A and B are shown apart, each in its own frame.
Chain A
């Protein structure tokens, strides 16, 4: 009887709140942050739930709350409580039978203000419970959004990710999550780099020196043409004179 209120006390007195990370990928490079617009997107919170059962039937419970902030600089933070003793025991049992540890978040939109943020359905991901135990609850949770700010997927991995069967003796290692949280928006695929290529070609052209001006045919080949013409004239003249001589002879 006494243990239940004590754990409750523990929970309420020392709530280890992990606020982690404000990582953001791409899309807004070069843009100013902290614009006036940002204030429109006040953060909101969605539950992060988890489930680990020996019989593998999902029963999701609250794990923590995700603080999401949409807008130009999307950010996310997580506040979560410690695992209760009962949970720790279950988790170890699940790990022993190679069960799964599942998490889920509701489908939400980070940007849509007018309509309902929340849509029906959840996004689910899993990790082997044993790897979570063996990594002493150090997990990496990644949220993926699409171009218009809808959450489309969630993933969880543990570091290290392997299950080597090492026994985790110390109960303290399984009390608090050591979570790294990131939110990833799609990257922009590159376009063909025509501008750069043309620039490079130009530079190369310049390096080679200015292209030679188009000379006229005569300007290019005068050295061949002149001797040829001269030769023809000479031979022609000789012919004529020869012919003349022959004629003369005939007369």
Chain B
């Protein structure tokens, strides 16, 4: 029976097959951490939101729903970095790639208006330049030059070199709607340089320098407010400094001590100024915020004389502040903590500091999320001319929450999911009734009578559940069909018949963990780990699956700092996301290796061993039972360590006292080659057939060494003629090099999959300039050495190694093999392509026994004749039209159906589907004719009954005769 309902009956055609897939497929698109966000203020009714992110993406969202309207994915790395995003009218201006390109986008459709290549030099600042109230130009300040571009076509009006750019650090550019553009530069702790350029031809009109021995950076400590007054804050002297930019008559900064305003800076805090320039054609407002501490802000106003400052309002505590402008009104937006679970956001009139009535918005603080990080406010005028607003809150976990009055969360986007690092799929728990039955068998027997009672009680519970189910069916049948909700919540989660629905536990680079239902794609739980370093390495381990009721499933996340190697453990329940009460061990020393043993403790949790830099071993959980088991098994516990910087592979054996001894060592000289990747086999992999039946009916046995490691190296010599890729197959227990192959004239990046008795790797052929696939298969030969059990210590003969190479017509980004419950289904390789497509490549095409010349035997074996080029057939794309941008990894998990493998591709997007490598051989077709089959069965049954009776009568008659 099919587990899902599809309305297509013709499953023969490939197109239908793809459509069928689409019924249980999800794709979620993400953009990453927001760097710049702007609301479309061009028209009042517009509901667009524009974001530029750290993933080099420029995207537009519908602010009512949070749906992605369009998105432009640029190159990865510094080449595509978005330096700045500014919005004016219908144009979105963007400087990309560290000042390489200036782009203008049409905000309506998301099309590119124009693109201009800028002169070399690192980007500093950019601003719009207006003449007579119309914005016509954009000024781009580089380290050593300033250029002015037309807004309409991107053509350069003029470019000028900045004087003394080797000593002066130019950091800001300012235009207040006059005929000059001002460039501000600083010689740290010496003086400030102000240069005024003519808009017309880029001529220097004025140039002057002002003494400022306290100033080290314009960017971080200065803003322009009011009628072109530069306002700076100095944390050392605890003073504000003002300087009119245009005026000639002020040769030096005017100092205003913070003390004179009754203000005090928190200890060790670097004060920050926040200002606002609502329109590029006009000068900034004369009000500004001064942040004095982590939760202390003051709204200040520069008086009309341009020298004195008035404090309008003191905000303490206040986390975040921002300005927003609509029409002629500018308001200050302040976020203040309300209680443990919520924050208040209020509007204040910018020019008076008075609180505007009925403007409070409550922002609910997620206990499993990060703290608010930034506010983006969209203010608009209501019909009665009062200001209303919606606010986008960015939290530290990269989540975006859009709220409107009085605190309704319109939508939330979990942008941390744009950077999934690792994931696991965990079986869902059984339903209450199933669990009850399981529990009955799990409990220890204590006499006949209690057993009977237990059985009766569990059957009563079953009956109850059944009645409740019936009642629910009856109740819902009366409702119109559309109203019956099938929403998945954490309470209703239960395993389905074929275990097709699972919990996807995803770990993101920001340290936020997610539990996502694989069927609906909805986030069921999230947990933000606050003190995770940005360069941390994660390893997710499932210590106990859902199978051990009543013990809850248990996952452990190993978080390791890449620089120091210090690690910590986060133990949690993967179904509910709750942190486990089990205390993880303290790990004072850097951790080199972690390994999950098949040993289980009395609570059915697998034992995790952590090896520190002194080769001491810590076990988790470390109960007495576990330690005792470890002592007994110590001599058969081996592990390996790889130090790729030294080219060193070494093996260790556990001693009874949990210390270790080094037993083998292989050294690959780093002068020749460096280790780029090491991969063992997946522990949950099953191999159904031990060998392959050949054409002459003999069996070629597979070399199935569970301890085999595939080590891939790249040569240090990058010359195309001498470069090579090395593939070593090393036994992880004995350190024996099983096979050693060198792919000449090849270079990485190498992607490879190691499974069963084969290794498939992909590399770049430097001579022929193409991507190539190579497959290695290992066979023991026609006789097995020891057919009952495999031991690395007792396998003296080296396996036969077969290898073939093919041309692949596309580069690839990642590769994984399908995985099924029992390993009967043929395997496919899932290949992520840079185009975003995921290719399901039958392993049959990657078989080193593909014959050059077709023979009777090879035909018997169904071997495809060798062809040097690997085809890419469009029907092999499993994601059809739903491309996955920047695929980083593919995760496969078996389902309860042998034919079905669950696939999750993650990168910028997350995509979930199922694949059937051998078609759905264990599933009846949708159009299966139950009526015909059962009627035939019944007819046959009655026919036999009747004929039997007739035969009996006949026999009786014959006997009487």
CB within 8 Å of B: which A36-80 residues: 56-58
| Contacts A188-B742, A189-B742 given; does A152 touch B667 at CB 8 Å | yes
Q: Identify the closest chain B residue to A99 (Cβ).
A: B635
- Asked whether A192 is an interface residue with its Cβ less than 8 Å from the other chain, the reply is yes
Q: Which B residues touch A142, using CB under 8 A?
A: 736-737
Closest to B765 in A: A191
- Asked if B852 and A196 sit within 8 Å, CB to CB, the answer is yes
| Beyond A189-B743, A197-B868, 15 extra complex contacts between A and B, CB < 8 Å | A124-B650, A125-B735, A142-B736, A147-B673, A147-B724, A150-B669, A157-B796, A162-B794, A187-B740, A187-B742, A191-B772, A191-B805, A192-B807, A194-B868, A197-B867
Residue B668 lies at the interface, judged by CB distance under 8 Å to chain A: yes
Which among B650, B742, B743 has the greatest number of chain A C-beta atoms within 10 A?
B742
A161 close to B795 (CB less than 8 A): yes
A155-B735, A188-B741, A188-B742 known; A131 and B662 CB under 8 Å? no
- Can you list 27 pairs linking A and B with CB atoms under 8 Å apart? A56-B655, A100-B663, A102-B663, A119-B669, A123-B666, A124-B735, A125-B734, A128-B793, A131-B793, A140-B796, A147-B724, A150-B669, A150-B672, A152-B666, A152-B669, A152-B737, A155-B735, A157-B734, A161-B796, A186-B740, A190-B774, A191-B765, A192-B805, A193-B852, A193-B866, A196-B852, A197-B868
Contacts of A196 in B (CB 8 A): 852
- 135-157 of chain A: CB within 8 A of chain B: 140, 142, 144, 146-148, 150, 152-153, 155, 157
Chain A residues in contact with chain B, CB under 8 A?
Answer: 56-58, 98, 100, 102, 104, 107, 119, 121-128, 131, 140, 142, 144, 146-148, 150, 152-153, 155, 157-163, 184-194, 196-197, 200
Could you tell me the distance between the alpha carbons of A126 and B735 in the complex, rounded to whole angstroms?
8
The 7 A-B residue pairs with the shortest CB-CB distance, nearest first, are A155-B736, A153-B666, A161-B794, A192-B868, A157-B796, A186-B740, A189-B743
| B931 lies within 8 A of chain A by Cβ | no
Contact indicator B667/A123 (Cβ below 8 Å): yes
B795 and A125 contact, CB distance less than 8 A: no
Which chain B residues border A157 with CB–CB below 8 Å? 734, 736, 795-796
The contact of B736 among A122, A125, A146, by CB within 8 Å, is A125
In the complex, B726 has a CB within 8 A of chain A:
yes
Cα distance A192–B870 in the bound complex, in angstroms: 10
Give the distance in Å from the alpha carbon of A247 to the alpha carbon of B761 in the complex: 85
What is the interface of chain B, defined by CB distance below 8 A to chain A?
635, 650, 653, 655, 661-669, 672-673, 724, 726-727, 730, 734-737, 739-744, 765, 772, 774, 786, 793-796, 801, 803-807, 852-853, 866-869
Distance in angstroms between the alpha carbons of A79 and B672 in the assembled complex: 30
Q: What residues of A have a CB within 8 angstroms of the CB of B667 in the complex? A: 107, 121, 123, 152-153
Cα–Cα distance between A148 and B722 once the two chains are bound (Å): 11
In the bound assembly, the distance between CA atoms of A153 and B740 in angstroms comes to 11
* Distance from A2 Cβ to chain B, minimum over Cβ atoms (Å): 38
| CB-CB under 8 A for A153 and B669, given A161-B794, A191-B805 | no
Q: Which interface residue of A98, A119, A153, A185 has the most chain B CB atoms within 10 A?
A: A153
Nearest residue (CB) in A for B673 is A146
A56 to chain B, nearest CB (A): 6
Residues of B within 8 A of A140 (CB): 796
Whether the Cβ atoms of A153 and B796 lie closer than 8 Å is: no
A192 to B803, CA, bound (A): 11
Q: How far is the CB of A123 from chain B (nearest CB, A)?
A: 6
A residues within 8 A CB of B804?
190
**With A125-B735, A126-B734: A189-B727 Cβ-Cβ less than 8 Å:** yes
Q: Would you give the shortest CB distance from A30 to chain B, in whole angstroms?
A: 16
Query: Distance (Å) between the CB of B792 and the closest chain A CB?
Result: 10
Asked if B669 and A186 make an inter-chain contact with CB atoms under 8 angstroms apart, the answer reads: no
Are the C-beta atoms of B665 and A190 separated by less than 8 Å?
no
Shortest Cβ gap from A108 to chain B (Å): 11
Nearest Cβ distance between residue A28 and chain B, in whole angstroms?
14
CA distance A98 to B655 in the complex (A): 13
In-complex Cβ contact of A148 among B650, B665, B672 (8 A): B672
Chain A residue with minimal CB distance to B665? A124
Q: With A107-B667, A146-B726, A189-B727 in contact, is A124–B741 under 8 Å at CB?
A: no
B845 CB, min distance to chain A CBs, angstroms: 13
Distance (whole angstroms) from the CB of B733 to the closest CB of chain A: 10
**Could you tell me if A188 and B793 are in contact, using CB atoms closer than 8 angstroms?**
no
Q: For A120, give the chain B residue with the smallest CB separation.
A: B667
Contact in complex: B741, A189 (CB < 8 Å):
yes
The residues of A that contact B796 with a CB separation of less than 8 Å are 140, 157-161
Tell me whether A186 and B866 are in contact (CB under 8 A).
Answer: no
Instruction: Output the nearest chain B residue to A191 by Cβ-Cβ distance.
Output: B805
A126 with B664: in contact, given A98-B635, A155-B735, A191-B805 (CB under 8 Å)?
Answer: yes
Alpha-carbon distance A188/B725, docked complex (angstroms): 10
Of the residues B653, B672, B867, B869, contact of A147 by C-beta under 8 Å: B672
Nearest residue in B to A125 (C-beta to C-beta)?
Answer: B664
Contacts of B868 in A (CB 8 A): 192-194, 197
Query: Roughly how many angstroms separate A226 CA and B668 CA in the complex, as a whole number?
Result: 78
A150 to B666, alpha carbons, bound, how many Å? Answer: 11
Give the complex CA separation of A114 and B706 in angstroms.
42
Q: How far, in Å, is B849 (CB) from chain A's closest CB?
A: 13
Measured CB to CB, the closest approach of chain B to A82, in angstroms, equals 23
On chain B, the residues within 8 Å of A122 by CB distance are 665
Query: Could you say which residues of chain B place their CB within 8 Å of the CB of A58?
Result: 661
A196–B673 alpha-carbon span in the complex (Å):
32
Q: Which residues of chain B come closer than 8 Å to A189, judged between CB atoms?
A: 727, 741-744, 774, 803, 805
| CB-based contact A131/B673 at 8 Å | no
